[in-house]
Amino acid sequence: MKAGRNSMACCPFHSDRHPSLKLNEDYFFCFGCGAKGDVIDFVARLFNLSSYEAAQKLAADFGLDPKPPTAAALPKPKHPCIRQFREDEMLCFRVLTDYLHLLEDWKVRYAPKTPDEPYDDRFVEACQMYCHIEYMADVLTVGDLEERVALVDELMKSGKIAFLKEYTVRKTKEVAHRGKAPENA
Ligand SMILES: [Zn+2]
């Protein structure tokens, strides 16, 4: 089997034209048919074997020592994968749109009033970031599954979403505290 971008592959367990099987380090999950499990489940299902036979086949095919029987008793997947993905996706979407709203506000609130006024940092940030953030929110709204999985993966693993969430909350409070000061200045 060939895994493409983002460890997605065509699922051998249903008729799959676009890759919908996600291969992770310790489990696989199909967004199309819901097939999931560890490497032993995968081999068992693919070759129609029992779990024990699948473990033996893996041991034989990859030259592993089949003696310790505990090798077959791998831990079960830690979470129901699709629910986890949906939760992560919702979190990303909420954080991105919150930040977008903040940028929209900054674009107006901190826009220079005269041509010679120096640019406020928040106005600059709003101009620089808006399209990029809007693009990511669009991907989560209308992107295909593979794009959404890749983006959510990237945002979660890099810690960007955690940072942006904290940042947006902090900056939103700052704006609320300062009220209308810039307009009156
Ligand atoms: Zn499938």
Percent of the chain exceeding pLDDT 90 equals 55
Report the pLDDT value the prediction gives residue 70, as an integer from 0 to 100.
52
Rounded to the nearest angstrom, the distance between the alpha carbon of 17 and the centre of ligand 1 is: 10
Examine the pLDDT at 151 and tell me if it is beyond 60: yes
Mean pLDDT for 162-183 is 80
Tokens 């000061």, residue? Answer: 181
Quick check: 74 and 25 in contact, CB under 8 A? Answer: no
172 or 72: whose pLDDT is higher?
Answer: 172
- pLDDT tier, 115 (very low <50, low <70, confident <90, very high otherwise): confident
Report the pLDDT value the prediction gives residue 24, as an integer from 0 to 100.
87
In angstroms, what CA-CA distances link 41 with 15, 30, 37, 112, 123? 19, 13, 5, 61, 53
Report the pLDDT value the prediction gives residue 184, as an integer from 0 to 100.
45
Examine the pLDDT at 65 and tell me if it is beyond 90: no
Rounded to the nearest angstrom, the distance between the alpha carbon of 7 and the centre of ligand 1 is: 14
Around ion ligand 1, which residues have CB less than 5 A away?
Answer: 11, 13-14, 30, 32-33, 35
Ranges of H-type helices in the chain: 39-46, 51-61, 81-109, 121-142, 145-157, 160-178, 181-184
Rounded to the nearest angstrom, the distance between the alpha carbon of 61 and the centre of ligand 1 is: 24
The phi, psi pair for 9, rounded to 5°, reads -135, 160
Rounded to the nearest angstrom, the distance between the alpha carbon of 35 and the centre of ligand 1 is: 6
Examine the pLDDT at 66 and tell me if it is beyond 60: no
Rounded to the nearest angstrom, the distance between the alpha carbon of 16 and the centre of ligand 1 is: 7
Examine the pLDDT at 162 and tell me if it is beyond 90: yes
Mean pLDDT of all residues in the chain?
Answer: 86
Rounded to the nearest angstrom, the distance between the alpha carbon of 145 and the centre of ligand 1 is: 14
Please state, in angstroms and rounded to a whole number, the distance separating the CA atoms of residues 185 and 169: 25
Rounded to the nearest angstrom, the distance between the alpha carbon of 21 and the centre of ligand 1 is: 6
Residue ranges of domains in the chain, CATH in brackets? 5-72 (3.90.580.10), 81-184 (no CATH)
Rounded to the nearest angstrom, the distance between the alpha carbon of 13 and the centre of ligand 1 is: 5
pLDDT in tens, 35-61: 999 999 999 999 888 998 898 888 888
Rounded to the nearest angstrom, the distance between the alpha carbon of 62 and the centre of ligand 1 is: 25
Examine the pLDDT at 97 and tell me if it is beyond 80: yes
Percent of the chain exceeding pLDDT 70 equals 87
Examine the pLDDT at 71 and tell me if it is beyond 60: no
In angstroms, what CA-CA distances link 30 with 1, 13, 36, 79? 14, 9, 6, 14
SS3 28: strand
- Which residue, among 47, 136, 57, has the nearest Cα to 92 in the 3D structure? 136
Rounded to the nearest angstrom, the distance between the alpha carbon of 168 and the centre of ligand 1 is: 38
90 or 25: whose pLDDT is higher?
Answer: 90
